């Protein structure tokens, strides 16, 4: 079945798009009208918070092979200008889908995908979890790869798709969460989380104590690793392994290969779901993509994420990875959120600073952390904040955070 036929088949099946404001017949009519509106466009930009509107615009463009640029409707002026500048750099190829990435830490980039790369990720997902039909319960933004792939999985496999926060109406549903969502809902909505077949967590590192709490609550969690560039997850830990006490992000899904560079520990990925390049530049096919992530494979072959190369702090000649310091601070149980940064310093090169959320006496916190970290890793400055700025995927907005502490 070709893509157009698959989209039409999915839309005409009863109750595939749940919680939609459109009836089935009105959805098909709206899609037809959207196709007429955009059929002569050189490309189409989608920037909406409304899931129904997004789905109609996206399916119309994909059906017509009109290049699609996805945009976050909550972007500020800086991101919007970077987005416009990026689009102006080239002419997109028919059928391509440009997905934004990297806006919270620097220059916005657009990863080029197409239906084939997205569908390769779906096939790997099906094989890994042993399912034919994928029912997706999506509470992540559709302009981001983690939300888009939940929609694409349902379309390609003729599954159900819903954006409701209620108990899933369709049994055996998958949901993808970021750590912030899991932390927020675990205390009061454990029954709701247990109602899913699988709760996939990714997008940002999850604290060890959060994962332990999820395991104790018997949440069917599947920690994963992936990126916008790989059409979301390329490695995952099976639920049974997680509940049995295994840690890390598991092993590769069938559609991907992963290796660790011995000289620096950076993760390289080769996958049928790998992006075609960063817009407007195409990458050479069949090459491994070098990520910014540092990792290692444990004795069971499970991927363990150490940190990010670009966020590494060098203070007094010592290498420090913020994720390790953050994990130690969270493990005290005295704070609810934390982010560790390196701030330029004339004496140390970089000065380790910690931004945290929690009503705790600083001396008590510092004392608790001292037992968990070597002296050179301990923060030299601490900032108590009402909240850590994060995007909808749970990733820290480091630009905003640096701007906040710069005024202190």
What is the domain range of residue 260?
A: 3-306
Q: What is the overall mean pLDDT for the chain? A: 91
For residues 92 and 95, what is the distance between their CA atoms, to the nearest angstrom?
9
Q: Residue 286 sits in a domain of what CATH number? A: 3.40.50.12780
Of 83-87, 306-310, 393-397, give the lowest mean pLDDT range.
393-397
End residue of a domain, out of 282, 306, 330: 306
Residue 264 shares a structural domain with residue 326: no
DSSP 17: B
Q: What is the pLDDT of residues 190-221, one digit of tens each?
A: 999 999 999 999 987 788 888 999 999 999 99
Triad 312, 313, 315: Cα angle to 5° = 155
Residue 297 shares a structural domain with residue 391: no
Residue 275 shares a structural domain with residue 171: yes
Residue-wise over 379-405: b if at least 16 C-beta within 10 A, else e? beeeeebeebbbbbbbbbbbbebeeee
Number of separate domains in the chain: 2
Is residue 102 scored above 90 in pLDDT? no
**Are residues 313 and 352 in contact, defined by beta-carbon separation less than 8 angstroms?**
yes
Residue 384 shares a structural domain with residue 400: yes
Residue 195 shares a structural domain with residue 269: yes
Is residue 238 scored above 60 in pLDDT? yes
Mean pLDDT to the nearest integer, 259-265? 92
Residue 294 shares a structural domain with residue 362: no
How high is the pLDDT of residue 408? 67
For residues 125 and 189, what is the distance between their CA atoms, to the nearest angstrom?
26
Is residue 394 scored above 90 in pLDDT? no
- Of 377, 235, 253, the closest CA to residue 293 belongs to 235
Residue 142 shares a structural domain with residue 97: yes
| Three-state secondary structure string covering 306-374 | EEEHHHCEEECCEEECHHHHHHHHHHCCCCCEEEEEEEEECCCEEEEEEEEECCCCHHHHHHHHHCCCC
End residue of a domain, out of 288, 306, 324: 306
How high is the pLDDT of residue 12? 85
For residues 279 and 90, what is the distance between their CA atoms, to the nearest angstrom?
8
Mean pLDDT to the nearest integer, 23-43? 90
Residue 205 shares a structural domain with residue 89: yes
- Residues of the chain with pLDDT > 70, as a percent, come to 97
- Please, what sign has the CA dihedral across residues 50, 56, 58, 61? negative
Mean pLDDT to the nearest integer, 7-23? 84
Residue 242 shares a structural domain with residue 389: no
Query: Which residue in the block uniquely carries the two structure tokens 């701007």?
Result: 403
Q: How confident is the model at residue 407 (pLDDT cuts 50, 70, 90)?
A: low
Q: Residue 154, Cα to own-chain centre: how many angstroms?
A: 18
Q: How confident is the model at residue 165 (pLDDT cuts 50, 70, 90)?
A: confident
Q: Which residues, other chains included, contact 264 with Cβ-Cβ below 8 Å and sequence gap of 6+? A: 294, 309
Q: What is the pLDDT of residues 65-82, one digit of tens each?
A: 999 999 999 887 878 899
How high is the pLDDT of residue 348? 79
Triad 291, 293, 297: Cα angle to 5° = 110
Residue 297 structure tokens: 């494979």
How high is the pLDDT of residue 15? 80
Residue 301 shares a structural domain with residue 318: no
- Residues of the chain with pLDDT > 90, as a percent, come to 65
Burial class (CB in 10 A: 0-12, 13-18, 19+), 91: exposed
**Are residues 179 and 170 in contact, defined by beta-carbon separation less than 8 angstroms?**
no
Q: Which residues, other chains included, contact 394 with Cβ-Cβ below 8 Å and sequence gap of 6+? A: 178, 179, 180, 181, 203, 204
Q: Residue 341 sits in a domain of what CATH number? A: 3.30.300.30
Per the model's pLDDT, the better-predicted residue between 193 and 26 turns out to be 193
Mean pLDDT to the nearest integer, 345-364? 89
Mean pLDDT to the nearest integer, 245-258? 95
How high is the pLDDT of residue 350? 86
Asked, as a colleague might, if the bond just before 131 is cis with ω within 30 of 0, I would say no
Mean pLDDT to the nearest integer, 374-399? 87
For residues 121 and 230, what is the distance between their CA atoms, to the nearest angstrom?
8
Residue 302 shares a structural domain with residue 316: no
Per the model's pLDDT, the better-predicted residue between 61 and 8 turns out to be 61
Q: What is the pLDDT of residues 266-318, one digit of tens each?
A: 999 999 999 999 999 998 877 899 999 999 999 888 999 988 888 888 887 78
How high is the pLDDT of residue 199? 97
For residues 47 and 72, what is the distance between their CA atoms, to the nearest angstrom?
6
Pairing of strands 277-278, 109-113: antiparallel
How high is the pLDDT of residue 103? 53
End residue of a domain, out of 250, 280, 306: 306
Residue 275 shares a structural domain with residue 334: no
């Amino acid at each position: 079945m070709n893509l157009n036929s698959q989209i039409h088949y999915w839309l005409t099946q009863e109750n595939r798009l749940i919680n939609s404001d459109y009836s089935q017949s009105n959805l098909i009519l709206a899609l037809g009208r959207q196709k007429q509106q955009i059929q002569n466009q050189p490309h189409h930009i989608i920037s909406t918070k409304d899931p129904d509107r997004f789905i109609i615009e996206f399916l119309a463009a994909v059906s017509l092979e009109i290049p699609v640029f996805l945009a976050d409707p909550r972007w500020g002026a800086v991101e919007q200008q970077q987005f416009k500048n990026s689009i102006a750099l080239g002419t997109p190829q028919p059928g391509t889908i440009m997905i934004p990435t990297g806006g919270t830490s620097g220059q916005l980039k657009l990863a080029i995908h197409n239906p084939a790369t997205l569908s390769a990720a779906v096939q790997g997902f099906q094989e890994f979890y042993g399912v034919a039909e994928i029912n997706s319960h999506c509470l992540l933004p559709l302009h981001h790869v983690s939300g888009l792939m939940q929609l694409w999985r349902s379309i390609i496999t003729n599954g159900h798709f819903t954006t409701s926060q209620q108990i899933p109406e369709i049994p055996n549903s998958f949901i993808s969460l970021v750590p912030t969502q899991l932390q927020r809902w675990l205390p009061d909505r454990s029954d709701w989380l247990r109602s899913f077949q699988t709760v996939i967590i990714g997008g940002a590192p999850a604290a060890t104590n959060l994962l332990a709490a999820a395991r104790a609550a018997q949440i069917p969690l599947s920690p994963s690793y992936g990126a916008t560039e790989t059409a979301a997850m390329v490695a995952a830990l099976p639920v049974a392994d997680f509940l049995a006490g295994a840690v890390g992000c598991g092993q590769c899904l069938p559609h991907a290969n992963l290796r660790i560079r011995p000289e620096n520990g950076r993760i390289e990925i080769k996958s049928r779901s790998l992006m075609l390049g960063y817009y407007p530049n195409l990458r050479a096919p069949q090459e491994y993509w070098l990520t910014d992530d540092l990792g290692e494979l444990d004795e069971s072959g499970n991927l363990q994420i150490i940190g990010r190369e670009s966020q590494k702090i060098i203070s007094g000649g010592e290498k420090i990875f913020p994720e390790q310091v953050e994990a130690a601070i969270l493990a005290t149980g005295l704070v609810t959120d934390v982010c560790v940064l390196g701030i330029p310093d004339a004496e140390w090169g970089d000065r380790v600073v910690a931004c945290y959320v929690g009503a705790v006496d600083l001396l008590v916190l510092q004392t608790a952390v001292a037992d968990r970290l070597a002296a050179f890793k301990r923060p030299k400055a601490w900032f108590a904040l009402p909240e850590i700025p994060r995007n909808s995927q749970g990733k820290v907005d480091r630009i905003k955070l640096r701007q906040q502490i710069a005024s202190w």
